[in-house]
Copies of this chain bind each other. A is one copy, B any other.
Amino acid sequence: MITDHLLKFEQKTDDTDIPDHFYEEMPDVVNELLESCLTGQCFDHVDSIPIITLESVAQIIQQARRIIFPGYFSQTVLAPSNLEYCLRQETTELLKRISRHIRLSFQHDCLRYNQYCSQCNDRSHKKALEFIRTLPKLRDLLATDVRAGFRGDPAAKSCDEVIFSYPGLFAITVYRLAHELYLLSVPLLPRMMTEYAHSLTGIDIHPGAKIGESFFIDHGTGVVVGETTEIGNRVRIYQGVTLGALSIPSETVDDFRNKKRHPTIEDDVIIYSNATLLGGETVIGARSVIGGNVWITESVPADTKVILKRPELVYSRNNHK
């Protein structure tokens, strides 16, 4: 009989045993499952390299965040006397951790294509070091995002509140880290990182997007920024904004995989809540403002304000109550 060691609280109650003949049916179920592994109709990851767990993705993000915003997310109080020691320890650990996960990502793809690459290990060390070298630059860049958040939201009480609690800043931090790995052609890991941020914030930024400095996303739930989007400096967007692709018929998906499918947003643009901007040739000119709920599939010149024509509303007496 199998006991559940993990669930302490389950042991607190007296479990009434399942009759033995129920367990006797398990081999049949298992055989059915095994057969579908043999036919290749279903998906399995057997006889393969170790997987990247969501927990380790979270640890990479948390450690990078402790390096970029020293003291904000550390459980030990940082002092000028221990700052250098702590930063050195964290960056060295992160080098090791990211190197291992870059290697797992490369090996995963090598196996997939049946081209086992003997240099996966060396490549991953080099890519990891290149990634670590970008951290000071990311620290500068993210400082501009923090200031943009405080400047852009009248409800923000301080820059610290932005760092501690704004989901937009968290999503942008993870995107900026993942984007560096994307530029280094690391598979799997960058997308797992941004999807981790997506699950916590509702903000879905593809690691392939290019985003300038001082970027601010307010509230953020439902935001989608597609793979080939380009965003300039000092851009501000609100919840529910989609920077997406035009519709694609299924049969031609493969033709689109490496094309620019998502819009370009120039400097100082503001896009209000739930606006949808689609298409790889759509360019929103600098300093333009896109109103809430607007649906755009064509370019907008610089210094332009685009709003929905005041929609006709129908007013009537409510007799429900």
Contacts and interface: CB of A to CB of B under 8 A. Distances in A.
Nearest to A100: B15
Contact of A9 (B71, B75, B316): B75
Nearest to A194: B165
A125 B19 contact: yes
A186 to B, nearest CB: 11
Q: Size range of the interface on A?
A: 35 or more
Contact of A160 (B59, B69, B112): B112
Contact of A303 (B18, B84, B129, B318): B318
A51 B206 CA distance: 31
Contacts of A165: 188, 191-192, 195
B92 A74 contact: no
A233 interface: no
Contacts of A222: 202, 221-222, 239-240
Contacts of A56: 7, 9-10
A210 to B, nearest CB: 15
Contacts of A51: 71-75, 164
A273 interface: yes
Interface string A2-44: 1010110110110110110011011101101110110001111
Instruction: Give the residue among A6, A41, A221 with the most B Cβ atoms within 10 A.
Output: A221
A281 interface: no
Contact of A313 (B109, B146, B309): B309
A189 to B, nearest CB: 10
Contacts of A16: 103, 121
A316 B288 CA distance: 10
B125 A18 contact: yes
Interface string A46-64: 1111111101100100000
Nearest to A88: B30
Given A12-B76, A74-B51, A273-B242, A289 B311 contact: no
A142 to B, nearest CB: 8
A257 to B, nearest CB: 5
A51 B78 CA distance: 10
